[in-house]
Protein backbone atom coordinates (compact mmCIF):
# COMPACT_ATOMS: atom_id res chain seq x y z
CA UNK A 1 0.00 0.00 0.00
CA UNK A 2 1.48 3.35 -1.04
CA UNK A 3 1.80 6.17 1.47
CA UNK A 4 1.63 9.86 0.60
CA UNK A 5 5.03 11.50 0.87
CA UNK A 6 5.97 15.12 1.53
CA UNK A 7 9.23 16.50 0.15
CA UNK A 8 11.59 18.44 2.41
CA UNK A 9 15.11 19.82 2.47
CA UNK A 10 17.38 20.74 5.36
CA UNK A 11 19.56 23.83 5.25
CA UNK A 12 21.34 26.33 7.44
CA UNK A 13 22.79 29.82 7.47
CA UNK A 14 25.68 30.10 9.95
CA UNK A 15 24.17 27.03 11.64
CA UNK A 16 20.74 28.60 12.12
CA UNK A 17 18.99 25.55 10.66
CA UNK A 18 15.69 25.07 8.92
CA UNK A 19 13.39 22.42 7.51
CA UNK A 20 12.35 23.63 4.05
CA UNK A 21 8.91 22.55 2.79
CA UNK A 22 8.32 23.21 -0.92
CA UNK A 23 4.60 24.01 -1.21
CA UNK A 24 4.57 26.16 -4.33
CA UNK A 25 0.78 26.14 -4.74
CA UNK A 26 -0.02 26.56 -1.03
CA UNK A 27 -1.75 23.21 -0.60
CA UNK A 28 -0.18 22.01 2.67
CA UNK A 29 -1.94 22.81 5.94
CA UNK A 30 1.08 23.32 8.18
CA UNK A 31 -0.33 23.56 11.70
CA UNK A 32 1.69 24.80 14.70
CA UNK A 33 1.78 21.21 16.02
CA UNK A 34 3.13 19.96 12.68
CA UNK A 35 5.87 22.60 12.70
CA UNK A 36 6.87 21.66 16.24
CA UNK A 37 6.97 17.99 15.23
CA UNK A 38 9.21 18.72 12.23
CA UNK A 39 11.59 20.79 14.37
CA UNK A 40 11.85 18.27 17.22
CA UNK A 41 15.52 17.28 17.37
CA UNK A 42 14.84 13.86 18.87
CA UNK A 43 11.55 12.72 17.35
CA UNK A 44 11.54 14.83 14.18
CA UNK A 45 13.90 16.17 11.54
CA UNK A 46 15.22 18.88 13.86
CA UNK A 47 15.55 22.62 13.20
CA UNK A 48 15.29 26.12 14.61
CA UNK A 49 12.35 26.77 12.30
CA UNK A 50 10.45 25.87 9.15
CA UNK A 51 10.59 27.67 5.80
CA UNK A 52 7.51 26.93 3.70
CA UNK A 53 8.10 27.95 0.08
CA UNK A 54 4.86 29.27 -1.44
CA UNK A 55 4.12 31.38 -4.51
CA UNK A 56 2.99 34.78 -3.24
CA UNK A 57 -0.14 34.62 -5.37
CA UNK A 58 -1.15 31.41 -3.59
CA UNK A 59 -0.89 32.74 -0.02
CA UNK A 60 -3.45 35.18 1.47
CA UNK A 61 -0.81 37.05 3.46
CA UNK A 62 1.38 37.60 0.39
CA UNK A 63 -0.98 38.19 -2.53
CA UNK A 64 -0.57 41.95 -2.28
CA UNK A 65 3.19 41.48 -2.81
CA UNK A 66 2.87 39.05 -5.73
CA UNK A 67 3.59 41.69 -8.40
CA UNK A 68 6.86 42.53 -6.64
CA UNK A 69 7.99 39.10 -5.38
CA UNK A 70 6.98 35.75 -6.88
CA UNK A 71 7.90 33.74 -3.76
CA UNK A 72 6.68 34.05 -0.17
CA UNK A 73 8.72 32.81 2.80
CA UNK A 74 6.20 31.44 5.30
CA UNK A 75 8.49 31.25 8.32
CA UNK A 76 7.57 29.51 11.59
CA UNK A 77 9.56 29.24 14.81
CA UNK A 78 10.35 25.78 16.17
CA UNK A 79 7.44 25.94 18.62
CA UNK A 80 5.04 26.47 15.72
CA UNK A 81 4.52 30.19 16.25
CA UNK A 82 4.50 32.52 13.26
CA UNK A 83 7.36 35.03 12.87
CA UNK A 84 7.54 38.19 10.77
CA UNK A 85 11.07 37.69 9.46
CA UNK A 86 14.20 35.58 9.64
CA UNK A 87 17.37 36.96 8.08
CA UNK A 88 19.27 33.68 7.94
CA UNK A 89 16.09 32.10 6.68
CA UNK A 90 15.90 34.47 3.71
CA UNK A 91 19.40 33.44 2.63
CA UNK A 92 18.56 29.73 2.91
CA UNK A 93 15.22 30.35 1.17
CA UNK A 94 17.10 32.00 -1.72
CA UNK A 95 19.54 29.09 -1.88
CA UNK A 96 16.64 26.63 -2.13
CA UNK A 97 15.13 28.58 -5.04
CA UNK A 98 18.53 28.54 -6.77
CA UNK A 99 19.02 24.80 -6.14
CA UNK A 100 15.53 24.05 -7.46
CA UNK A 101 16.30 25.94 -10.67
CA UNK A 102 13.64 28.54 -9.94
CA UNK A 103 16.13 31.44 -9.87
CA UNK A 104 19.75 31.94 -10.85
CA UNK A 105 22.62 33.92 -9.40
CA UNK A 106 21.80 37.61 -9.18
CA UNK A 107 19.01 39.67 -7.68
CA UNK A 108 15.87 38.22 -6.12
CA UNK A 109 12.81 39.60 -4.30
CA UNK A 110 11.34 37.56 -1.43
CA UNK A 111 7.98 38.32 0.18
CA UNK A 112 7.89 38.01 3.98
CA UNK A 113 5.46 39.04 6.69
CA UNK A 114 7.73 42.03 7.30
CA UNK A 115 7.45 43.07 3.64
CA UNK A 116 9.49 42.39 0.52
CA UNK A 117 13.19 41.71 1.09
CA UNK A 118 15.77 42.02 -1.69
CA UNK A 119 18.47 39.38 -1.96
CA UNK A 120 21.53 38.92 -4.17
CA UNK A 121 22.98 35.48 -4.80
CA UNK A 122 26.68 35.77 -5.65
CA UNK A 123 28.15 33.56 -8.37
CA UNK A 124 29.83 30.34 -7.27
CA UNK A 125 33.52 30.53 -6.43
CA UNK A 126 36.23 29.05 -8.68
CA UNK A 127 36.18 25.85 -6.63
CA UNK A 128 32.43 25.48 -7.08
CA UNK A 129 31.69 26.69 -3.57
CA UNK A 130 28.28 28.39 -3.51
CA UNK A 131 28.60 32.18 -3.36
CA UNK A 132 27.36 34.08 -0.33
CA UNK A 133 23.91 35.62 -0.24
CA UNK A 134 23.34 39.27 0.58
CA UNK A 135 19.95 40.34 1.89
CA UNK A 136 18.65 43.88 2.10
CA UNK A 137 17.02 43.75 5.50
CA UNK A 138 15.22 47.09 5.40
CA UNK A 139 15.69 49.89 7.89
CA UNK A 140 16.08 49.49 11.63
CA UNK A 141 13.61 51.21 13.91
CA UNK A 142 14.86 52.36 17.30
CA UNK A 143 11.78 52.71 19.50
CA UNK A 144 12.02 54.88 22.59
CA UNK A 145 11.75 53.47 26.09
CA UNK A 146 13.97 52.06 28.79
CA UNK A 147 14.41 48.28 28.68
CA UNK A 148 16.27 46.11 31.19
CA UNK A 149 17.38 42.49 30.74
CA UNK A 150 18.08 40.30 33.78
CA UNK A 151 19.87 36.95 34.05
CA UNK A 152 20.29 35.62 37.58
CA UNK A 153 21.55 38.46 39.76
CA UNK A 154 22.86 40.56 36.85
CA UNK A 155 20.90 43.23 34.98
CA UNK A 156 21.82 45.38 31.99
CA UNK A 157 20.18 48.22 30.07
CA UNK A 158 19.18 47.11 26.57
CA UNK A 159 18.70 48.95 23.29
CA UNK A 160 15.34 48.41 21.65
CA UNK A 161 15.82 47.68 17.93
CA UNK A 162 13.18 46.51 15.49
CA UNK A 163 14.22 44.78 12.25
CA UNK A 164 10.72 43.74 11.27
CA UNK A 165 10.77 41.75 14.50
CA UNK A 166 11.71 43.01 17.97
CA UNK A 167 15.16 42.81 19.57
CA UNK A 168 16.65 43.82 22.91
CA UNK A 169 20.42 44.33 22.48
CA UNK A 170 22.74 44.56 25.45
CA UNK A 171 26.51 44.72 25.92
CA UNK A 172 28.29 42.44 28.39
CA UNK A 173 31.90 41.82 29.42
CA UNK A 174 31.66 38.08 28.83
CA UNK A 175 29.18 36.08 26.75
CA UNK A 176 29.07 33.53 29.57
CA UNK A 177 27.07 36.11 31.54
CA UNK A 178 24.10 35.20 29.33
CA UNK A 179 23.85 31.88 31.17
CA UNK A 180 22.43 28.78 29.51
CA UNK A 181 19.58 30.65 27.79
CA UNK A 182 17.36 27.57 28.07
CA UNK A 183 14.63 29.93 29.17
CA UNK A 184 13.96 33.44 27.94
CA UNK A 185 15.84 36.13 29.88
CA UNK A 186 13.67 38.39 32.00
CA UNK A 187 12.86 41.67 30.25
CA UNK A 188 11.27 44.66 31.95
CA UNK A 189 8.97 46.45 31.81
CA UNK A 190 6.84 43.38 31.22
CA UNK A 191 4.69 45.11 28.59
CA UNK A 192 7.65 46.33 26.52
CA UNK A 193 7.27 43.44 24.06
CA UNK A 194 3.71 42.11 24.10
CA UNK A 195 4.53 39.54 21.38
CA UNK A 196 7.86 38.46 22.88
CA UNK A 197 11.39 39.53 21.96
CA UNK A 198 14.73 38.21 20.73
CA UNK A 199 17.51 39.05 23.17
CA UNK A 200 21.13 39.55 22.03
CA UNK A 201 24.13 39.55 24.37
CA UNK A 202 27.12 41.29 22.75
CA UNK A 203 30.87 41.57 23.41
CA UNK A 204 33.52 43.54 21.54
CA UNK A 205 36.14 41.62 19.57
CA UNK A 206 37.98 44.52 17.90
CA UNK A 207 37.37 47.63 15.81
CA UNK A 208 33.95 47.26 14.21
CA UNK A 209 33.94 43.60 15.20
CA UNK A 210 31.58 42.08 17.77
CA UNK A 211 30.32 38.66 18.81
CA UNK A 212 26.91 37.68 20.15
CA UNK A 213 24.73 35.04 21.71
CA UNK A 214 21.00 35.14 21.16
CA UNK A 215 17.80 33.82 22.67
CA UNK A 216 15.17 33.77 19.91
CA UNK A 217 11.55 33.96 20.97
CA UNK A 218 9.84 30.68 20.24
CA UNK A 219 13.12 28.84 19.62
CA UNK A 220 15.45 29.39 22.59
CA UNK A 221 19.18 29.87 22.10
CA UNK A 222 20.18 29.41 18.46
CA UNK A 223 23.51 29.27 16.67
CA UNK A 224 22.70 32.40 14.69
CA UNK A 225 20.02 35.02 14.16
CA UNK A 226 20.19 37.18 11.03
CA UNK A 227 17.83 39.94 12.15
CA UNK A 228 19.56 39.80 15.53
CA UNK A 229 22.98 40.33 13.95
CA UNK A 230 21.56 43.33 12.09
CA UNK A 231 20.02 44.73 15.27
CA UNK A 232 23.37 44.25 17.04
CA UNK A 233 25.24 46.04 14.25
CA UNK A 234 22.91 49.05 14.40
CA UNK A 235 22.96 49.22 18.21
CA UNK A 236 26.76 48.93 18.24
CA UNK A 237 27.17 51.60 15.57
CA UNK A 238 25.02 54.02 17.56
CA UNK A 239 26.94 53.21 20.72
CA UNK A 240 30.15 53.97 18.80
CA UNK A 241 28.76 57.26 17.51
CA UNK A 242 28.29 56.09 13.92
CA UNK A 243 25.06 56.93 12.10
CA UNK A 244 25.23 56.73 8.29
CA UNK A 245 22.08 58.84 7.93
CA UNK A 246 23.91 61.68 9.71
CA UNK A 247 27.47 60.99 8.58
CA UNK A 248 26.58 60.31 4.95
CA UNK A 249 28.94 57.33 4.87
CA UNK A 250 28.11 53.61 5.04
CA UNK A 251 29.38 51.64 8.01
CA UNK A 252 30.20 47.93 8.15
CA UNK A 253 30.71 45.57 11.09
CA UNK A 254 31.80 41.96 11.31
CA UNK A 255 29.42 40.06 13.58
CA UNK A 256 30.47 36.66 14.88
CA UNK A 257 27.68 34.29 15.88
CA UNK A 258 28.18 30.85 17.46
CA UNK A 259 27.61 29.26 14.05
CA UNK A 260 29.92 31.43 11.95
CA UNK A 261 30.44 34.97 10.71
CA UNK A 262 28.22 37.59 9.09
CA UNK A 263 29.10 40.94 7.55
CA UNK A 264 26.51 43.63 8.25
CA UNK A 265 26.47 47.07 6.64
CA UNK A 266 24.23 50.11 7.01
CA UNK A 267 23.82 52.58 4.14
CA UNK A 268 23.19 56.33 4.38
CA UNK A 269 19.53 55.77 3.47
CA UNK A 270 19.21 53.53 6.53
CA UNK A 271 19.06 50.23 4.65
CA UNK A 272 20.80 47.38 6.48
CA UNK A 273 22.49 44.68 4.38
CA UNK A 274 23.58 41.26 5.62
CA UNK A 275 26.01 38.96 3.81
CA UNK A 276 26.68 35.37 4.77
CA UNK A 277 26.64 31.72 3.71
CA UNK A 278 23.60 29.59 2.95
CA UNK A 279 23.90 25.81 2.68
CA UNK A 280 21.50 23.02 1.72
CA UNK A 281 22.70 19.84 3.47
CA UNK A 282 20.02 17.23 2.73
CA UNK A 283 16.77 16.49 0.97
CA UNK A 284 14.25 13.69 1.16
CA UNK A 285 10.66 12.73 1.92
CA UNK A 286 8.64 11.90 5.02
CA UNK A 287 5.32 10.13 5.50
CA UNK A 288 2.69 12.88 5.21
CA UNK A 289 0.47 11.23 7.81
CA UNK A 290 3.28 11.48 10.37
CA UNK A 291 2.63 15.20 10.76
CA UNK A 292 -0.89 14.65 12.02
CA UNK A 293 -0.40 11.39 13.90
CA UNK A 294 -1.36 11.50 17.58
- State the Cα torsion 243-244-249-255 to the nearest 10°: 80
Choosing from 225, 233, 242, 280, the catalytic residue is 225
Nearest to 47 by CA among 74, 28, 20: 20
- The yes-or-no answer on residue 225 being catalytic is yes
Choosing from 38, 73, 86, 149, the catalytic residue is 86
Distance CA 286, CA 170 (A): 41
Distance CA 28, CA 26 (A): 6
Q: Do residues 45 and 21 touch, judged by C-beta distance below 8 A?
A: no
Side-chain-facing half-sphere of 54: CA atoms under 13 Å: 26
Is 148 marked within a binding site? Answer: no
Is 160 marked within a binding site? Answer: no
Is 217 marked within a binding site? Answer: yes
- The yes-or-no answer on residue 39 being catalytic is no
Is 16 marked within a binding site? Answer: yes
Q: Provide the greatest CA pair distance for the chain.
A: 67
Is 198 marked within a binding site? Answer: yes
Is 222 marked within a binding site? Answer: no
Is 162 marked within a binding site? Answer: no
Is 87 marked within a binding site? Answer: yes
Residue ranges of the binding site: 16, 77, 87-88, 165, 198, 216-217, 226-227
Residue ranges of the binding site for substrate: 16, 77, 87-88, 165, 198, 216-217, 226-227
- Residues annotated as part of the active site: 86, 225
Amino acid sequence: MSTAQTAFLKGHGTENDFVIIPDHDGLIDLSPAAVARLCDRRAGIGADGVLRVVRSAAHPEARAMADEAEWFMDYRNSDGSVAEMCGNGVRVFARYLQRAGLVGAGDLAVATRAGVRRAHIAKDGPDGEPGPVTVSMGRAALPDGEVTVTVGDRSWPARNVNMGNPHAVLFVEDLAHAGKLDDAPAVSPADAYPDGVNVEFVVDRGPRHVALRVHERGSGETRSCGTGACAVMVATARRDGADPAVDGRPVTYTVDVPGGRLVIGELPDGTVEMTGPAVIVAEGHFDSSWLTAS
